[in-house]
């Protein structure tokens, strides 16, 4: 089945130690998103790629970076995690056409713990 895969599902890191989360998709979608979701809150969009074009949300901290080496993979790098960065990180994809075909498909998420 076509899907969005996130690895690892659970990640523990130390305060200030860089960490990378990965996302892959078999849907061949143009757009890939990274969201941060804190407990019982709505997802907050960090950035997205439309093909190779990177789009950063204005309030995304510089501590968060992303890479998309090819259509299938996208990475979230947190350069110096702080305690406030502990959250669920969701990857999503969409076709990229405007309108109804821009339904977003989500991965299972990576829960990040910062010690």
Partner 1 sequence: AQTVTQSQPEMSVQEAETVTLSCTYDTSESNYYLFWYKQPPSRQMILVIRQEAYKQQNATENRFSVNFQKAAKSFSLKISDSQLGDTAMYFCAFMKHDSNYQLIWGAGTKLIIKP
Nearer to partner 1, 8 or 18 (CB): 8
Scanning residues 33 to 72, which ones bind partner 1 (CB under 8 A)? 33, 40-43, 45, 48, 50, 55
Q: To which residue do tokens 């997802």 refer?
A: 43
Nearer to partner 1, 80 or 102 (CB): 102
Helix (H, G, I), strand (E, B) or coil at 82: coil
Scanning residues 16 to 35, which ones bind partner 1 (CB under 8 A)? 31, 33
What's the min distance (Å) between Cβ of 29 and partner 1?
A: 11
């Amino acid at each position: 089945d076509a899907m969005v895969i996130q690895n690892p599902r659970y990640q523990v890191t130390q305060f200030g130690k860089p960490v990378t989360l990965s996302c892959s998709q078999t849907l061949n979608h143009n757009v890939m998103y990274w969201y941060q979701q804190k407990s019982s809150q709505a997802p907050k969009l960090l950035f997205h790629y439309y093909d190779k074009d990177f789009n950063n949300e204005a309030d995304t901290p510089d501590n968060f970076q992303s890479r998309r080496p090819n259509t299938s993979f996208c990475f979230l790098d947190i350069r110096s995690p702080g305690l406030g960065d502990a959250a669920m990180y969701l990857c999503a994809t969409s076709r990229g056409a405007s309108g109804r075909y821009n339904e977003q498909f989500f991965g299972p998420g990576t829960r990040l713990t910062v010690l």
